[in-house]
Amino acid sequence: MTPQSVIFFDIDGTLLDHDKKLPHSTKEAIFKLKENGHIVGIATGRAPFMYEDLRKELDIHTFISYNGQYVVLDGEVIYTNSLNHSSIEKLTEAAMHNNHPIVYMDHEDMKANVPEHSYIDESIATLNINRFPTHDPSYYKGRELYQSLLFCLEGEEGQYEQAFDDFDFIRWHPVSVDVLPKGGSKAKGIEKIVEKLGIPEDHQYAFGDGLNDIEMLSTVKNSVAMGNGKDRVKEVAKYVTRSVEDDGIVHGLQMVGLL
């Protein structure tokens, strides 16, 4: 009998193709892994409410949201890491001065500090989800936020990186960056889960393609970068599979001996 392993998958560009569709071969592979007794988890920068349908379709109940800030094991929240309240208030003030909108995000919803903005519309639309942030400029007050989105052009985030040393700024779109607690990552979220499961590192796997996957793929022993991934991501991974559209998940699982 094959020893039980745990396999974590990023969503965008890994489970989902560039049209935000789940390839049939990927869905079959996920269910085959579970049939074989393995644990399948998701590790994403998305909020939990942004991929409920995907979790239901794949029957997955273990997941890491917000790049490691909200961690759920078999339906139970086991770890959270929220943004510093006073720092998010100061960031809001600085961003407003620069006409850079912010979206505040907790585990249930997301709210923008401006009524509307083209950068928000442009970037959120690429996620192909059925909701957009509504307007509530005070949403950050008295609430645990696990991530915020700062909307600015490439290079403009540098001023915030210098001013806020308790945040990490990770670009995910030409007009938007994730704002995370300093040092928070998918790798930290995986660490919390495998501690609970007691699965040794030889039986831990992770698949990803984006810049927010670098720490995960450089930490998890059996890491697989998608063929469509960034060059920096491929450099840190142990394996490189085909692109997501070219049955990359199936090929990668075969490469590492799980299928």
Tell me the per-residue pLDDT of 36-74, one tens digit each, with 9 for 90 and over. 999 999 999 999 999 999 999 999 999 999 999 999 999
Which tokens is 138 given? 């005070």
How far, in Å, are 112, 159, 189 from residue 104 at the CA level?
A: 6, 20, 21
- Sign, CA dihedral 58-62-66-67, equals negative
Question: Which entry of 10, 12, 209, 213 is annotated as an active-site residue?
Answer: 10
Q: What are the φ/ψ torsions at residue 77 (nearest 5 degrees)?
A: -70, 120
127: Cα within 13 Å, side-chain hemisphere: 21
Q: Residue 94 in 3-state DSSP?
A: helix
pTM over 0.85? The answer is yes
Domain spans of the chain? 6-80+184-255, 85-181
Which tokens is 201 given? 């590192």
The span from the CA of 236 to the CA of 4, in Å, is 25
- Is 231 marked active-site? no
Q: What are the φ/ψ torsions at residue 55 (nearest 5 degrees)?
A: -65, -40
pLDDT tens for each residue of 189-233: 999 999 999 999 999 999 999 988 999 999 999 999 999 999 999
The span from the CA of 136 to the CA of 112, in Å, is 6
Specify the fold of 6-80+184-255: Rossmann fold (3.40.50)
For the segment(s) 85-181, the CATH number from 3.40.50.2300, 3.40.630.30, 1.25.50.20, 3.30.1240.10 is 3.30.1240.10
Which tokens is 39 given? 């644990």
pLDDT tens for each residue of 12-42: 999 999 999 999 999 999 999 999 999 999 9
